[in-house]
Amino acid sequence: MPLCEQLTRRALRLHEHHALRVAVDPFDDLDAGGSFYQWQCEQHASAEPSGAYEEMVSSPEFERLRLLVHATVERYLGELEVALPEDSPLDLFIWATVLRADQDHAVHFHPSAVCSGSFYSQVPAGAGGLWLQDPRGTLPPFTQRIKFAPSNGDLVVFPSWLQHQVALGQSPGEPRVSWGFNLETEAASAWPWDCTSAVAVQHP
């Protein structure tokens, strides 16, 4: 079975498990930052995660995803010549997101991370795209918004300070399934943003 199909099944299974745990419809969270995401954050940080979450992160397909993300992030930071903080531990957190056509994710960013991104395991026709926008100014070129229209198997990485959102889709069929990730560190808030930017900074 292809990796995307395996990961999609894992995500849907965990999504349904969470819905049963909180006694709600699997799609009642109309925002991807709702209780399913928050629950995965709690499970990731827990010394004793639930059996369902442990089963997912211990699966062969999740390990393949983790290695793929790790290698991509390493290459991304290497090309930018970013020196990771040696005195602060790094944590690669990967979570599943399941959205149907009438769901979106509002504009946000990740202040506790060095870089962020998504792997797309199921993108039906008409699924919402990923919008990226630069928060550093109100004049060009910072006013430009970029839309990334993903396909199955795509992986995108970007600076965590970059504002991003998921638009509403137009597909009434299968849900859009993706795997967000953050390379997190306690030192992220003290990092200069320009270490992950190609824009030159001129000092007076």
Residue-wise pLDDT for 78-95, tens only, equals: 888 877 767 667 889 999
Q: Is the pLDDT of residue 22 over 90?
A: no
For the beta carbon of residue 152, count every other beta carbon within 10 angstroms. Answer: 16
pLDDT for 103 equals 78
Q: Bin 45: left if φ > 0, else alpha if -120 < ψ < 50, else beta.
A: alpha
204 in a domain, yes or no?
Answer: no
For the beta carbon of residue 133, count every other beta carbon within 10 angstroms. Answer: 15
For the beta carbon of residue 52, count every other beta carbon within 10 angstroms. Answer: 15
Give 149-184 pLDDT, tens digit per residue: 999 999 999 988 888 888 877 767 789 999 999 998
What gap in Å lies between CA 42 and CA 47, rounded to an integer?
10
Q: Is the pLDDT of residue 58 over 50?
A: yes
Q: Is the pLDDT of residue 138 over 90?
A: no
Q: Count of domains in the chain?
A: 1
Q: How many Cα atoms sit within 13 Å of 67 on the Cβ side?
A: 8
197 in a domain, yes or no?
Answer: no
pLDDT band at 121 (very low <50, low <70, confident <90, very high): very high
pLDDT for 50 equals 93
Q: How far is CA 39 from CA 33, 45, 125, in A?
A: 10, 10, 29
* 72 vs 188 pLDDT, higher one: 72
Residue 183, token pair as written in the block:
């390379």
pLDDT for 204 equals 42
pLDDT band at 200 (very low <50, low <70, confident <90, very high): very low
Specify which residues 132 forms β-bridges with: 146, 164
pLDDT for 127 equals 87
62 in a domain, yes or no?
Answer: yes
* 188 vs 74 pLDDT, higher one: 74
CATH number of the domain enclosing 140:
2.60.120.620
Q: Is the pLDDT of residue 68 over 80?
A: yes
131 in a domain, yes or no?
Answer: yes
What gap in Å lies between CA 61 and CA 156, rounded to an integer?
19
What gap in Å lies between CA 95 and CA 102, rounded to an integer?
21
112 in a domain, yes or no?
Answer: yes
pLDDT for 32 equals 46
Percentage of the chain surpassing pLDDT 70? 84
* 5 vs 138 pLDDT, higher one: 5
47 in a domain, yes or no?
Answer: yes
pLDDT for 191 equals 65
> Closest Cα partner for 14 from 50, 46, 45?
50
146 in a domain, yes or no?
Answer: yes
Domain containing residue 13: 3-189
Mean pLDDT score of the chain: 83
196 in a domain, yes or no?
Answer: no
Residue 203, token pair as written in the block:
């000092």
Q: Are the C-beta atoms of 26 and 16 separated by less than 8 Å? A: yes
* Residue 193 three-state SS: helix
Count each helix (H run) and each strand (E run) in the chain, helices first: 4, 8
Q: How far is CA 95 from CA 10, 31, 62, 79, 189, in A?
A: 11, 15, 10, 25, 21
pTM of the model: 0.86
pLDDT for 190 equals 63
* Residue 92 three-state SS: strand
